[in-house]
Chains A and B, each alone.
Chain A
Amino acid sequence: MNPEEKPPGKERETKKIRRLKLLRFYPGDSFLHRLDPRTKLLALVVISIVAFLLSALSVMILVFLFEVLLAVTSSLAKKFLAAVTLVSPLFILVIILDSFFSKTTSGPVWYSATIGFLHPMVTQGGVIFALAMGFRLLAICGISILFLMTTSHDDFIRSLRGMKVPPTISFSLGYALRSTTTLTEETGQIMDAQRSRGLELDRGTIVTNRDKLAALFIPVTVALLKRSKNTADAMLSRGFRPSMPGSGYKTKKFGRPDLLMGLILMALVIVLLAVNSISPA
């Protein structure tokens, strides 16, 4: 009867939800924070394209390290790494699958078999390729997470407005950024409510609990629809017109940090291309 006893393996589901809450904007005044959202969007696109087109493991690791460095300069390193672990199940899955069923097979063969029509084969080259695919995933998710963590959706909307993007699109994109938090919060509340009504979600896996999901999905959908209808009405009442963008207040402008970021990006791309060409295929 120890009052200090730790609860055994409870709150598992809620912890997952709580970790999702990491994916939001953190106010700050770092290099990344000061960038024009458009610059960050450009960085997001450039890095994603580079990661897709190149395939060397060293390139992917370099990109990921670059992102970690950016996170450190924004003093978000811990939160960034914690958020990246959200994709860890996918990361592991990609590595395992690509190791066994790799497109490139080279070097010493470590394992080979024939199971029905499948021919899994693990080779040194295959494993390196698999690791590269895993880090490609991390690199692409990482830059998106950084964007999310350092861009306030207000700034984002204003930048898009400056680019003459139609208000309906710019606002929807921006509001979607903000909604990551509201949605996880709402889902958490609904899970709490149903658990309080005796729905067992703390035991079993998503497979054994699949027939219980209706109790979550329906209320989540209803809440979402209700939120969008009410928010739309409130916005109309506040003067929102799909056809009129409106003026800007404290719109971020291109400045020296943006120029610097542009140069860094160019340098990064050149370095990555060079690294990719000298690393073994």
Chain B
Amino acid sequence: MTSPDPVIVIRDLSFRYPKTLSGRQVAALKNISLTVRPGEFVLITGESGSGKSTLARCLNGLIPHETKGHMNGDVIVCGMNTKETDVPDFARHVGMVFQDPGYQLVAGDVESEIAFGLELQNLPEQEITLRIEETVALLRIGHLVGRPARDLSWGERQRVAIAAVVALRPSVLVLDEPFSGIDAAAAQNLAAVLGDLRAERGTTILIFEHRMANLLPLADRRMEMAGGTIIPGTGQDPPGVPGSERGRDPGPAPASTPPRETSHGSAAIASRGEARIPSISLRNISYRYPGARAPALEGISLDFYPGEITVISGANGSGKTTLLKHSNGLLNPDRGSVWLGKEDLAKKTVAAAARTVGLLNQHADYQLFESTITDELSFGPRNIKKSPGEIETIVSGIRHGCALDHIDPLTPPLSLSGGEKQRVALGGILAMDTPVVVLDEPTFGLDANLKKQLSGFLKILKDAGKTVIVATHDEEFGAACGDRFIRIAAGHIESDVRDPSRSFPEKPGADSARGEYAGES
């Protein structure tokens, strides 16, 4: 059997971004050579900043045509050199799925979204109708058709974004961190769909991702990137064999690790019978978004205690974020009340509550605006009137805790990379030194190493007697740092346990498919 002509050939590819205003050179690519044959399923892993996204952007000509910088070497995809072919000409050959589906969708509903790319190819209306039907079936998104785009969850938007590029029947599909915004059940589902796609169409699939438990069985090859190069020898790894992946599996393994060992945690559990004062109590709260049919939260009562890390999980749209927004008054319950110790939250403004509760919102890198990291970190403490001396001590501690001490504190936060921005945003909340710390999806964009660092830092906060509440879809992270595990489904508490294996389903997708991709097995 002769091997067919390769669909992607990368020869000695190097890329440098222009220097930022502050003189920092952001991660780039160095001497990458790679060949991919048609129908291959290639997984490219690597830490934040290793050059994954940059390499992905080289595959349809976004680099060099749309991104400033200097490129050397050749990238030939489907027989076309990216230097000579414009980005739109690659649309029929390379389907690009970016990390944030929100940026990728341009239409008002699912049907128009899929039609968008087809219209641009000047296809006649019957052909477009046909392609839409075919794609909807292949991607299993029949239940989304007819719904307005703004009502879709992250995972659903992503599925639509994939459908929109698959409709063009590209021979190559490139996905940049497709798992970063979805939970285990949705990830399992997505992996299955990608498997179908390859089986039915023979599509070559390249995935740039650091969560990979679901992908290993499908991947023909796994490569690892670091510092802008592919680590030699990693491309040959046969799928499924290396034992190194076992530890990443969200199965029962984590149950035997950290939660039990922390002495403070167990002490806290032991003293539970005594009269402990909760730092936050939600008393029978219900909330419905204006105009929504179903309530987002219904009859939730929860007490959170100092010296404990509570992990809140649940499918996208189950009410995690809504619940957290009640902790500092960003949302006020329709019924029920929220108490911070002995104070009724309803009597405080959000800014006043911020002295007690530090809440890190989802996609927190939005909030950065100061001209230096130091100013950014001290913005919160200044608002709640901490003294300059106090602020200085806190800020230097935070810079270390959030792995920012290698960056000049006078760097503008907006010039940092995604993962670094996320850490500055996190630091900005932790710097307020509040007794209660609430984090909504803090691991977004962090790689395995940084997640480990974050969970260590959260334990330090816990040992300092703080109440830590974390909402996450990342089971591995949750299981590694939590003491208590609450699972929410459709606005109700589904479980509230101290054993992670009982909160996170052992087989992802076994019982948590509700909500996001309901009706599929």
**Chain A contacts to B: CB under 8 angstroms:** 1, 3-8, 10-11, 14, 18, 24-25, 27, 152-154, 175, 178, 181-182, 186, 189-190, 192-203, 214-215, 218-219, 222-223, 227, 230-241, 244, 246-250
Contacts and interface: CB of A to CB of B under 8 A. Distances in A.
Nearest to A234: B104
> Chain B contact residues (Cβ within 8 angstroms of A): what range?
35 or more
Nearest to A24: B150
Contacts of A4: 335
Contacts of B350: 10, 192, 195-196, 201-202
Query: Which among A7, A227, A230, A250 has the greatest number of chain B C-beta atoms within 10 A?
Result: A7
A152 B329 CA distance: 35
A196 B109 CA distance: 33
B368 A239 contact: no
B contact face: mostly helix, strand, loop, or mixed: mixed
A237 B60 contact: yes
A246 B120 contact: yes
Given A18-B290, A198-B383, A190 B62 contact: no
Contact of A152 (B106, B108, B128, B366): B108
B354 interface: yes
Contacts of A10: 329, 332, 346, 349-350
Contacts, number: 192
Interface stretch (B110-118, B206-214, B399-407): B110-118
6 contacts: A200-B351, A215-B379, A234-B98, A236-B66, A237-B96, A247-B121
A196 B354 contact: yes
A78 to B, nearest CB: 11
Interface stretch (B69-77, B85-93, B225-233, B470-478): B85-93
Contact of B369 (A219, A231, A234, A237): A219
Nearest to B337: A3
Interface of B: 57, 60, 62, 66, 86-92, 94, 96, 98, 100, 103-104, 106-109, 112, 115-125, 128-129, 148, 150, 164-165, 168, 283-284, 290, 325, 328-332, 335-337, 344, 346-347, 349-352, 354-355, 357-361, 363-364, 366-369, 379-380, 383-384, 414, 428-429, 432
Nearest to A228: B103
A231 B103 contact: yes
Nearest to A195: B350
Interface centre among B91, B108, B117, B128 (most CB of A within 10 A): B108
Contacts of B290: 18
A4 B369 CA distance: 38
Contacts of A181: 150
A236 B368 contact: no
Nearest to A223: B366
A246 B122 contact: yes
Nearest to B174: A237
A238 B346 contact: no
A237 B168 CA distance: 11
Given A3-B337, A202-B351, A246-B120, A194 B346 contact: no
Given A235-B106, A238-B116, A239-B91, A196 B429 contact: yes
A4 B150 CA distance: 32
Contacts of B86: 241
Contacts of B429: 196-197
Contacts of B117: 238-239
Ranked 10 nearest A-B pairs via Cβ: A239-B91, A198-B383, A218-B369, A193-B367, A198-B354, A230-B103, A200-B351, A202-B349, A195-B350, A154-B112
Contacts of B355: 198
A223 B100 CA distance: 13
A20 to B, nearest CB: 13
Contact of B380 (A3, A18, A153, A197): A197
A140 B347 CA distance: 41
A118 to B, nearest CB: 40
A247 B369 contact: no
B329 A219 contact: no
A249 B367 contact: no
A202 to B, nearest CB: 4
Contacts of A195: 330, 349-351, 354
Contacts of A223: 366
Nearest to B89: A239
